[in-house]
Amino acid sequence: MQAKTVISSTLLSLLAAGALGVATSSHAADKMDAGSMQKCYGVNAAHKNDCKAGSHSCAGQSSKARDPNSFVEVPTGLCSKLAGGSLTPKNG
C-alpha cells in the first residue's frame, strides 16, 4: 500500500512540474510578443521578408537576399549585431 502512495505522489509531482514548465515557457513567449521586436533591414533571405519594401507591398515578395529596403522582425537589440543589419531602409 505504501509503495502505491509513493508512486502516486511521484507521478503527481512530475505532472505538476510539467504543467509549471509549460506555463513558464508560455509566459516567456507572451513577453517576447509584447513589443520586444523591431524591423531589421538588409538581413532577409530571398522571399523571406516580413512586409512592404520599395517595389512590393507584402511579406515574402522580396526577390533578392539582403535587400536593404526589405525588413525582417527580430528581437530588439539583435539587428545591430547582424552583418548588414540596419534599423532604417536604404531609401528611407
> Do 89 and 59 sit in the same domain of this protein?
yes
Per-residue pLDDT of the chain (92 residues; tens, 9 = 90+): 576 665 666 555 655 556 545 444 455 555 555 579 999 988 888 877 777 666 666 776 777 788 888 888 999 999 999 999 999 988 75
Task: Provide the residue range defining the domain that includes 44.
Answer: 36-92
User: Pairing state of beta strands 71-75 and 37-41?
Assistant: antiparallel
pLDDT at 22: 47
Please tell me the distance from the alpha carbon of residue 92 to that of residue 82, in angstroms, as a whole number: 20
Q: What is the pTM of this model?
A: 0.54
What is the count of structural domains for the chain? Answer: 2
Instruction: Determine the pLDDT at residue 52.
Output: 62
25/60 same-domain check: no
| pLDDT computed for residue 77 by the predictor | 95
Looking at residue 1, its amino acid is: M
Query: Are both 30 and 64 inside the same structural domain?
Result: no
Residues 29 and 18 in one domain: yes
- Looking at the fold, whether 25 and 42 belong to one and the same domain comes out as no
Measured CA distances, 83 to 16, 27, 50, 55, 76 (Å): 43, 31, 18, 24, 15
51 and 90 assigned to the same domain: yes
On the 0-12 / 13-18 / 19+ scale of CB atoms within 10 A, 21 is exposed
Residues 7 and 24 in one domain: yes
